[in-house]
Amino acid sequence: MNASAFHLREYGESAFVQISDAQAGLLGRIGLVEPVRTADPGWWELRPGGKVGAVRVGDVDVRVAPKVDIERIVFLLGYRLRGVAWQESVVPVEAADEIVHVLAEMFTRSVSDAIRPGLLQGYRATEEALPVVRGRIRIDEQLKTSPGTWLPIEVSYDDFTVDTPENQVLRAALERLQRNPMVPADVRRRMGALLLQFADVGRLIPGMPLPHWRINRLNRRYDIALELARLVLASSSFEHRVGAVSVDGFVLDVPKIFEDFVSAALGDVLPGLLLGSSVMDQYPATLDEGSEVDMRPDIVWLDDRLRPQAVIDAKYKEEKVSGFPNADLYQCLAYATVLDLPDAHLIYAKGNADTREYTVRGSGIRIFAHALDLAQSPEQLLGSISSLAREVRDARKSGTEPMQET
C-alpha cells in the first residue's frame, strides 16, 4: 500500500489527516508532531514543533523540514561534532530538504572515511572453555565446572579483534539506517557494501545501552562517525511494531542541536576573554536551601577559582513582537539569584530586535536577551557568537569590578 505523505515545516502550519487512534498515539510518542483530536471522528490535527525529520507510521508518512536551510543544521551539527565539513554540500541540491537523506549521506561518508585504513582492532577480555591452554587458567571455574578432569580447560585471555565497542556501534547505526525505507536506495546500497566489512563484528542487543568507548589517539579517526552513529541510534530509537502498525523514521531535536552549538561555540570564545576561565554546560545547582529543586543552567562561565562570572541560557524560539516570553525571564532571574550574579543572558534563535535589557525591580539584576540569526552564513554566525561573548564580558565588567582580560 502506498503511504500518504504530509510535508510540514518546523513550527509551521498544522496538517489535518485521517488516521487511526493507534497511529496518532504512536506519532505522539515519537514526538515529531503533536497529534490533536478534532471534532470529526477519525480526523487529527498534526502540529509541528521544534523537531525535524521523517517518520512512517503504518501507511502514513509525516515529514517536518527545518525552518532554516538544511545546510545550517548540518553546520550546527558539524560544529558540535568538531569535524563534519560544512563548506561542501553533502547531498544533491534536489534532496536538500530531506533531513533523512542528508544525515544518511553524512553518516555513510563518515563511516567510509573512518574505516578506509581498515576496521579498528582492540583487545577484548574473553573467558571460555578450550581443549588447549590459552592465556590464564581459571582454576576456580575449572574446579566448579569440570571437577576431576582437565578437559576442556577454563581459560581467560585477551583477544585482539575487530569486535570492539566502536565497530559494534557503527554496525548498529548502519543497519538501522539501511532498513529505513525513507533512506534513498542508492545510499542504502552503499551502506550494504560497508556492512560487508563488519561481518566479524557482533550485533548489539536492541534496547540495551550502547557500549562504552573513549576517544583516544588510537580510535580518533572514528570520532565523527561514532558521534553521528550515536545520533542515528538515539533519533531512530522508536523503530518498532505495535500490533499491526509498523514504525520507521528519523527525528532530530533542533532545539537541543541549537543549545549544544551555542554551548560549544561560547565555550571556544569565552575562555579567551578572561585569564584562567572556563565554561561548564548544564551547571549543577539547586534553587532552594534544602537542595531539593535542581537547576541546570545551559552555560556558566567560571573564573580560575571556579566562581561563576556569567550565566547563559539558550532558547530555540523566535522573539515575538510583544517581547520575550515571561517564563524565560523568570528562569534567568532564578539562575542569577542562586549564583549571586548581577546579570543573566538569554540567547534566542533569530528574533526581530537587537539585544534588550531588563532590570528587575528591587534586586537590580539585569537580564539581557540576545537574538542569534541562524540564517547567517557560518562565518557570520561564528562572528555573531564572538560579538555576543564580548557583550557577556562587557556586561559583567559593568556590573562588577574590572576583570583581567587576555
Residue 185, strand partner residues: none
3-state secondary structure 124-153: EEEEEEECCCCCEECHHHHHHHCCCCCCCE
C-alpha cell at 84: 563534519
Backbone phi, then psi, for 274, in 5-degree steps?
A: -150, 120
For residue 273, pLDDT over 80 is answered with yes
Q: Where is average pLDDT lowest: 103-107, 120-124, 304-308, 358-362?
A: 120-124
327-377 pLDDT, tens digit per residue, is 889 999 999 999 999 999 999 887 545 678 899 999 999 999 998 988 888
d(CA 62, CA 54): 6
DSSP string, 375-404: TS-HHHHHHHHHHHHHHHHHHHHHHSSPP-
pTM of the model: 0.74
| Mean of pLDDT values over 162-175 | 92
d(CA 379, CA 325): 29
Q: Which helix (H) or strand (E) holds 30?
A: helix 21-30
Longest Cα separation, the chain? 84
What pLDDT shows up at residue 404?
44
| Mean of pLDDT values over 146-171 | 77
For residue 195, pLDDT over 70 is answered with yes
Domain ranges in the chain are 1-67, 68-121+162-237, 122-161, 256-399
| Mean of pLDDT values over 133-155 | 66
What pLDDT shows up at residue 157?
57
**What's the start-to-end Cα distance of the chain, in Å?**
64
| Mean of pLDDT values over 38-66 | 89
Q: What is the CATH number of domain 256-399?
A: 3.40.1350
